[in-house]
Every structure is written in C-alpha cells, then in structure tokens.
Structure 1
Amino acid sequence: MHRRILVPSALAASLLLAIPASAAAGAPGKSSGEKTPGAPGIGDPYYPASGNGGYDVSHYDLRLKYQPATDLLEGTATILATTRQGLSRFNLDFGLPVGEVRVNGRKAAFTRSGDQELEITPVSPLEKDRAVSVVVRYAGKPSELKIDGWTAWHRTPDGGVAAQEPASAVWWFPSNDHPLDKATFDVSVSVPDGTQAISNGVLQSRSSRLGWTRFNWRSDKPQATYLATLAVGKFDITTDTTANGLPVLNAYSKDLGGNAGAARASIERTAEVAEWLEGVFGPYPFNALGGYVPNVPSGYALETQTRPFYSPRQFAGGANVSVVVHELAHQWYGDSVSVKGWKDIWVNEGFARYSQWLWSEKEGEGTAQELADYVYALHPADDAFWTVKPGDPGPDKQFDLAVYDRGALALQALRNKIGDEDFFAVLKGWPAAHADGNASVGDFVEYAEKVSGERLAELFDTWLYRPSKPAASAAATAGSAQASRIGPGARPAEPRSYRKIAATDTVHDHGRAGGHGR
C-alpha cells in the first residue's frame, strides 16, 4: 500500500496552452467505438501500478526550473502520444503536486490515486488511434515524496539528482513509466547562475538571464523513462569528440573529495571503452556519450541513456574502469534494447556483467572462462545464490547478485556450447535486430538458436530457470585447462580482475524492488 504524501497546494501553478482544433481527438461525429478508462498499469506482473494502458507516448518536452536552496522544482510537461483505444479517462505516473492539466488544449479534470497515479478525464472522450497532446503544470519538492518509504531523488549540498531503477520519473516528470513505452525527450532546465543542469543526449544550447541559466538537452532516440536523468549542481565539465565524431561530455561534482582523481581517471576513458565495445556489440546506438558523478552518498551506478550516473563511492578504492564498462555495455543491452517486462532483467544485467569479464580478458587480468570457473566454485550447492532464477527472478530478487553473476555464467555456457564465431555474432547481431525497441529472454533464446543452428532450450533452462546449482560449471562443460587442473571441491585461483568487478556490487541502494539502481 502506498502512503499518501501531502504537499501544500500553494506550490502548484496554473497553465495556459492552446493547440489547433484539428489535433483534438474525440471530435463530435467521429466516434470509432466505446470509450473506456485506460488501465492504471501497463500489465507488468512485477510492478502492476507501473505504466498505463490505452496510449503510447512518442515525445516528452519538459521545461523545468529548479531552486537548489529550497529543492523546489517547477515544471511544464508536454506529452505527445497516440491513443490505442477509445479513452474516457487515462492515467499518468507522477507524484508531485499538479496545478493544471490540459488535453488537446482544453482544461481537463484530474485527481490523484495513491502516491503515483494521476487520473485525467478530458472534456471529450478520445478516439482510438488519434494524436493527443497532454500538458501538465506542476510544482513541488521531490525530496519530500516517498513511495513505500523510498525515494529516487537525491538531494545534494548544491542541488539534486534523479537516477534510480526501476523508477525515477515519478519524482520529476509525469509519464507512462515503463520501459515498454519509450519516447524521445527535450529537457530544458533553468537553474541559478553558477550551477549546471546535466541530462541525457546532446546539449543543444545554454543561455543566461536575470540570474538564471537555462540548459537545453535533447535525446533523439527512443528512451525508457527510468533512463531519463536530471542532475543539478556545481560541476567541472570536460568535453571531447570521439574518432567517429560523437560528442563526449563528462561532469564531476566539485565536491568529490578524495574520490575525485579516481573518478576522473575512470570516466575519462569512456570514449576508449565505447570504441572497444563497438567491436563486441556493434555500432554505438546513440549520438552522445559521457558520464557524470554527483556528490551523493549512495553507492551504485546506473546506465542512464548516453550519460551514465556514477556515485563517488564507486571510486573509493581507486580507479574503476570496470564499472564504466558495465554501464556503457548497457547502452546496447538495456537502453537501445530494453526489457519487455521487468522479469527480463537478465537481458540487461547478465550481458553488462559479461562485458566486464570480456574487458578483463582484453586487459590480461583473467579470461571470461577463468572468471566463470571462479564464480561457479565460489558458491556451494546450498548457497542461496543458486535459488535465484535470473530468467525470472521475481521483484524481490530482480537485482540480486545471481542475476549478474549466474547470468554471466549462462553466457559463458552459451559461448562454450556454440563456439566463439557464433557467440560473438549473436552478441553483435542482437542489438541491431532489436535497436530502439524491447525484447524478452525468450526472444534472445530464439535469436541465439537461429544464429547458431543449435537447440538451446535445455542450456538456458539449466542456467536461468532451475533453482539449483548446475551439475557442471561452464568451465567443465568446455573442458577448460583450468577446470582439468583442479580437483573436486577445489577452488580455482582468483582472477586478478575479480575484486575490481565485485567492487561494483559492494553497496546496494534499495528501491521498490528491494534492489538497487544498476
């Protein structure tokens, strides 16, 4: 059950907007069937309240103003969508106080249901398959919004940050908050002079007036709402261009303390890592690149599209390029190709973890096979690690270590089964086949079978769905040299990269899923 958060209504503002009457859906005399309320959820069994039914969003235009001193966020969100049924009413996912809603230029009635459902009733019902614009004017303090005792908004000494998984949009803009409904974004943010606003995509322009500076960001490829990010604060910003002409923008809080050098030493290798990943996964799927490190106490990292979020604590032990590899791998596996449902999280996390194993192999710090041998031996048969099913872990285990490490073991088993040529053809072909879309674990299994010509259902069932330790490790399956040298019950030598990789898992922030934003 959600707890209702009450914020003074004086924070809400009003709105005036008009659009051409020709764009209005639901015009008299053009009825195309019954009009019913859109579902208050998109149908994901892990998070029944996430997303909404009845429409698809194509674009979000967000015009925001944020005051770091008070945490007051004022916004006007214009949402362009297409109806997928006749709608008498529809929902958006949002938690801040709302002052006014307009649908196709006309004021609409609205009410709240729980902490995150905004129910909107247009003046006239909306016809199926029509373009619709929704404008929401709002104002509130994101740090005061708690859902199940949890927040995705990090207030910092000099600003605020929105970055979490499986949800963060609810804290700063209204949306259809599920990866199935991806859209393009324009994010325009006004902040006090001397402060920066960081978001996804390409910085189109910036301008200053009367003590405020406005930053205009654009993401022109479809983006899941949880991958949209906003960071306001005082940053040191570096810019560059890759050999392929991509703009690179990295931002570092001016108050990272002893972690500043290690953070820069890691993230300034972003272009190098992305170039290497192109050799593994194919062309980089977006038109911008970078990363940012705000001054937040949390310990995780997140693959926010084009510009991953990294907490300073990821670099407490020194430079950590492995976490950069992980988050950049998600640009292919998780961002360009997003999950159909949250149960498909392995298609994100298993591959990002395996990319770290491949980087280790490249750097001569332990092959993927050696890491597989070690991880397999590290967890005895009675370890709860083996009870988690990466192919459908459940919402409480969605970000469990097993989704990452057992998920990577599944990929090593696949590599051993079909051989390197077909395996790397699968890794490179999959993001191209599903670019800018959504896919499931089952879709990946079918694709791997198509490319390899092998029947792989038993292999994936063993590694992704059975709640027990497989009888033989990926190493033994391949008959690796290391596996043949060690006796029964013995543990292989720890690869040099293992602790660097494991360091990305040492601190977990807990959200709605009992998991962390990774």
Structure 2
Amino acid sequence: MPRSLPTVPAALLALVLTACDGGVHGTPGGSGVHDPYFPKAGNGGYDVGHYDLRLAYDPSGGDRRLTGIATLTARADQDLSAFDLDLVGLHVDGVTVEGRPARFNRAGQELTVRPHDDLAARETFRVTVRYSGTPRTLTDPDGSHEGWLRTADGALALGEPVGSMAWFPGNHHPSDKATYDIAVTVPKGLQAVSNGELTGETSAGGRTTFSWHTAAPMASYLATVAVGHYDVSRYTIGPDRLPAYVAVDPTQTKASRAVLAKIPEIVEWEEHNFGPYPFSSTGAIVVRPQDAEYSLETQNRPVFHGAPGTGTLVHELVHQWYGDSVTPRTWRDIWLNEGFATYAEWLWEEDHGGDSAQQTFDRLYAHGEDDHPGLWSFPPAKPSGAAHLFDDPVYVRGAMVLHKIRQTVGDAAFYDILRGWAAAHRHGNADTGEFTAYVEKKAPDKDFGPIWKNWLYGKGKPDRP
C-alpha cells in the first residue's frame, strides 16, 4: 500500500511550483485607480518612469492621420500577468513587452496588454505600442473640449483632465508622473512645440522632426503638442539665465507682444514669493482664440487661447509651482492647483497697485455671487461631481481659504507656508489632508479647525467670524 504524502499548505505549494518551473505567476493590474471623479483613469499594478513618444502628423491630409510609437519604461508594483493602458480611439497596430510580441485587447478606453511572460514585482520593463488613426477631440463632463484639437494649420493637444489618452497610450492619472521624450515629425515648414527643452530639429524628405525632452516628472495631463506656424522667441531670465521658449501663432503676435514681455518680471516675482522656479525652462504657447476654449498650465510653457491678460499669465505660470511641480494626488484635490493660482493673481494685484487681497476677499464675501453665481454651491475640497471640477468654488473659494490662513498666521508665516509647501512636495503629489497637516505643523499655536470646517469642507456661505 503506497504511503500518503504530508499535507502541504497551498501558499507553500505555490511557491514550490513557481521555483520549480522558474516562472512568475502574476495577476492582472487594475483598470483604473478609483479616482473619486474619474474611476477608470490610470491603472493599477505598475508605475511609469518614462515615456518615449515618436509621433508623425500631417494636417494637410483628409483624415489628418496621426501615427505613433509609444515606449513606456515602467516598474511593476506586483506580479503581473496583464496590465492596462488608457487609450481612446486610434488603432493599435501592435504591442511588445521587453521586445517580445504581446497579446492585447480593447474595451472602451482600456488597452489590456498580456506579456509573453508574467512580470515580477519590482521588475522594470518596457512596453512599446504602435498605433495610428485620426485622434479624437473629447468632451469633458463640463462640456469643454480636450484631447486632440484640430486647428487651422495643424493641431493642439490638451489633456486636463483625461484628454491625453486621445493621442498616446499611458497611465493617465495625475498620481503617476514620469519624464518624457516627445519627437514629432511634421511637413517641412510647420513647427511642433512641446514640453521641456528642444533637443533636436532635423529635416529630411520634405519633413521636419522636432525632439523635446522633459527631465522633471510630469503628469500626463500636462503634456502638450502644438503643430502649426509659430513666431518663436528664445531668451533667458534672471541671473540664473532660465531659458524661455515662447511660440505665438502669427495672427496673435501683435496682440500678445506687450503682455508676453512681462514673462521675465512675472517669473522673478513668483520666484521671490513662492521659491525657486521648479523646472529647467519656461515660456508660453499662444494659439488662435478659436483653437481652444481655455488656457492651460501645460508644463514648462502654458498654452493660451489668444493673447492673455496679465492675470491669466500670472495664473498659468504660478501653476508651474502649484499643479505642475506639486501635483494633486486625485482630482478631488484640484483646489490645490486652482485656489493657489487664483490667490497668486490677488497677490500680484496687491503688489502692483491694485486692490489688496483683503479688499478682494471682502468684496467676494459681500457680493461675490454677482459675478460668481455658484460661489457657495459646494466647498473647494469637495467638488460636486466631475462636471464641477473647474467651477468657481474651486478657484475663488479655494483662494479665500488661503486668505483665511494668511489672516490667521500673518504675512511672514504665510509666505513661509507657500514656499515650504512647494519645496516639500517638489516634483511629487500631494492631497488636501497633507496640506492641512502641513499648515498645522508650521503654525502649531494656531487653531485652524474653523477654517477647515467652514471654508474648506463646509457647505454654503460661512458665517464670517
């Protein structure tokens, strides 16, 4: 009679079998990171460290076709049998993982990739996606448009909050930041402007390739490409000779000249108030007003729809500190971008002969509903749905929260908080809870409870103390 074998725990047996066959037995990464407003945005199971995007676009063709090769260098957070990328529209021509063909399938915005061999936790891997087609313009929950926007002579890519998935596959959530190389090939005579530094411009066969490198981590919603005809200015700012690259649609050059000449002054003023400029270059992209419905703080060089006013220029440039360098952990934390940028506009006015921030605050509290009908409709830290992420409470009431902090701690401590917050989370992510904890730590003798309760999280118009 054969002897019975001892009982082996299932977990131990799995380890033994894995060791014997030399393989990794992973599970699929999650489709979406469960963001409170965009639950399918981003993906679980891995973290992207670098994007290498090789794009070609010809706006003269009838279908305005985009072809791309996207190579993502990522690190597995778990043993992975499959993982998802966000990509909407476009045709996937093939996928490889570590140079080997990988199976894939599409479902909505999810591109699910199944590598030939499972990936081990903490393993660094490369996935390459070849794709092509006519990229889409997406409609946001608030009715605005993003993604790939056609222009009169080219295109403009804008990504906040989820539009970048219309032109390249990726982990499209602000919590996963990465460095970028973006090379764009266009018909000779056109230009392609993107983030970071222009590292190459080569022409051959009637086409020109513009190569851009972004060395600091960037959330994918801040990536941009602007294809068309541009008047380009290049110069340096301040004693550190910060490079500036400004590209302006020729129809906007005259109207923009005076305000764009303020970029050096604004950057130096912002450095004085908020700390060292967080990136290796600055600048702007100005397109026709009809090319986009809004301005956006794309990293290194914000995009403006038409010649901006001074306040808008201040707003988008200060986002380089608050939003681009210190990026929200989830879309619920968007007031950490917009409240700060709006308050910077108040400070600029205060320092340049306009109303003081206190006067602005008082006016808004007294009758802000006249210009901002929804000002008290929800608290800045709890936007009432994805369609309201960019409503007045996030911007204006968010700025009022900062002013209440300033009233509580005084100017010297307040500016220390602004500079310290930007430094503490430089090139990272942060949420509202981390911000309130930081403020309390910097001023432990002050009671911020009423501010958080009534101004940051409270419903309706606060009773002013």
TM-score, normalised relative to structure 2: 0.90
Deviation digits for residues 302-356 of structure 1 (CA, Å, limit 9, x no counterpart): 00000100001xx4xxx61111100011101001000011000111100000000
Q: Select the residue among 305, 309, 318 that pairs with 2:303.
A: 309
Q: Does 1:323 align with 2:312?
A: yes
Give the letter for the 1:356 counterpart: E
| Counterpart selection for 2:375 from 380, 385, 391 | 385
Does 1:273 pair with 2:266? yes
Measured at CA, do residues 383 and 170 of structure 1 come closer, stay the same or move farther in structure 2, by a change above 3 Å?
closer
Moved segments of 4+, more than 4 Å: 26-32, 144-151, 380-383
CA contact (8 A) 1:153 1:171 kept: yes
Aligned to 2:218: 223
Aligned to 2:227: 232
Give the Cα–Cα distance (whole angstroms) in 2 for the partners of residues 28 and 172 of structure 1: 43
SS in 2 for 1:213: strand
Measured after TM superposition, the shift of residue 457 of structure 1 is 2.8
Q: 2:361 aligns with which of 365, 372, 382?
A: 372
SS in 1 for 2:410: helix
The secondary structure found in structure 1 opposite 2:460 is coil
Amino acid at match of 2:82: R
- Alpha-carbon separation, structure 2, partners of 1:353 and 1:471: 22
Give a deviation string over 1:119-141, Cα, whole Å, max 9, x none. 11111111111011000011111
SS at match of 1:237: strand
Name the SS of the counterpart of 1:303 in structure 2.
Answer: coil
CA distance in 2 between counterparts of 1:405 and 1:145 reads: 27
Higher relative contact order (CA 8 A, sep 6+): 1
Count of equivalent residues: 438
Higher mean C-alpha displacement, 183-192 vs 379-388: 379-388
**Alignment correspondent of 1:176:** 171
CA shift for structure 1 position 294: 1.8
Counterpart secondary structure, 2:93: strand
Match of 2:10 in 1: none
Preserved CA contact (<8 Å) 1:143 1:155 = no
Alignment deviations for residues 265-287 of structure 1 (CA, whole Å, 9 cap, x no partner): 22232222111101111000000
Map of 1:396-411 to 2, 5 A cutoff?
A: 396-411=387-402
**Counterparts of 1:35-434 in structure 2 under 5 Å?**
35-70=26-61, 71-95=64-88, 96-114=90-108, 116-143=109-136, 151-243=146-238, 244-256=240-252, 260-297=253-290, 298-312=292-306, 315=307, 320-379=309-368, 384-393=374-383, 394-434=385-425
Contact map agreement 1:262 1:320 (CA 8 A) in 2:
no
Q: How far 1:31 moved relative to its partner? A: 4.5
Question: CA–CA distance in 2 between the matches of 1:159 and 1:349?
Answer: 29
Q: Distance in 2 between matches of 1:113 and 1:87?
A: 19
1:261 CA drift (Å): 2.6
Contact 2:321 / 2:422 at 8 angstroms: preserved in 1? yes
Percent sequence identity over aligned pairs: 45
> Does the C-alpha gap of structure 1 residues 330 and 113 become closer, same or farther in structure 2, counting only changes over 3 Å?
same
How far 1:402 sits from its partner (Å)?
Answer: 1.4
The answer to whether the 8 A contact 1:388-1:397 is kept is no
Distance of aligned partners of 1:303 and 1:355 in 2 relative to their CA distance in 1, 3 Å threshold: same
DSSP 3-state at the match of 1:356: helix
1:177-207 deviation per Cα after TM superposition (whole angstroms, max 9, x unaligned)? 0010000000011111110000000101111
Within 2, Cα distance between the matches of 1:49 and 1:275? Answer: 39
Work out whether residues 296 and 303 of structure 2, in 8 Å CA contact, stay in contact via their aligned partners in 1: yes
Over 3 Å counting, the alpha-carbon distance change for 1:253 and 1:430 in structure 2 is same
CA RMSD across the alignment? 2.0
CA offset at residue 27 of structure 1?
11
* SS of residue matched to 2:376: helix
Cα distance in 1 for residues equivalent to 2:299 and 2:327: 11
C-alpha separation between the residues in 1 aligned to 2:19 and 2:299? Answer: 38
* 3-state SS, counterpart of residue 423 of structure 1: helix
Distance 1:151 1:311 in 2: 13
Query: CA-to-partner distance for each residue in 1:435-486, whole Å, 9 max, x for gaps?
Result: 11100111111111111122313212211111111111xxxx5xxxxxxxxx
Q: Alpha carbons of 1:296 and 1:142: their partners in 2 closer, same or farther (altered >3 Å)?
A: farther
In the aligned structure 1, how far is the partner of 2:387 from the partner of 2:258? 35
Aligned to 1:494: none
Look up the SS of the partner of 2:259 in the other structure: helix
Whether the 8 Å contact between 1:27 and 1:124 is mirrored in structure 2 is: no
Aligned residue number for residue 456 of structure 2: 464
| Structure 2 segments unaligned to the other structure (5+ residues) | 1-17
Match of 1:439 in 2: 430
Aligned partner of residue 50 in structure 2, secondary structure: strand
Unaligned runs of 5+ in 1: 1-25, 478-518
Contact 1:60/1:77, CA 8 A, preserved across alignment: yes
Distance (Å, rounded) in 2 between the aligned partners of 1:360 and 1:442: 29
Instruction: Deviation per CA, 1:209-260: give whole Å up to 9, x if none.
Output: 111111110000000000000000000001101121211000011233xxx4
C-alpha distance in structure 2 between counterparts of 1:30 and 1:324, whole Å: 57
Asked if the contact 1:64–1:75 (Cα under 8 Å) also holds between the matched residues in 2, the reply is: yes
CA distance in 2, matches of 1:432, 1:282: 8
Give the AA of the match of 1:55. Answer: Y
One-letter amino acid of the counterpart of residue 77, structure 1: A
| Conserved 8 A contact 2:375-2:396 | no
Q: 1:197 to 1:48 in 2, by over 3 A?
A: same
Q: 1:339 to 1:439 in 2, by over 3 A?
A: same
Q: Which AA in structure 2 matches 1:464?
A: L
State the AA in 2 paired with 1:252: V
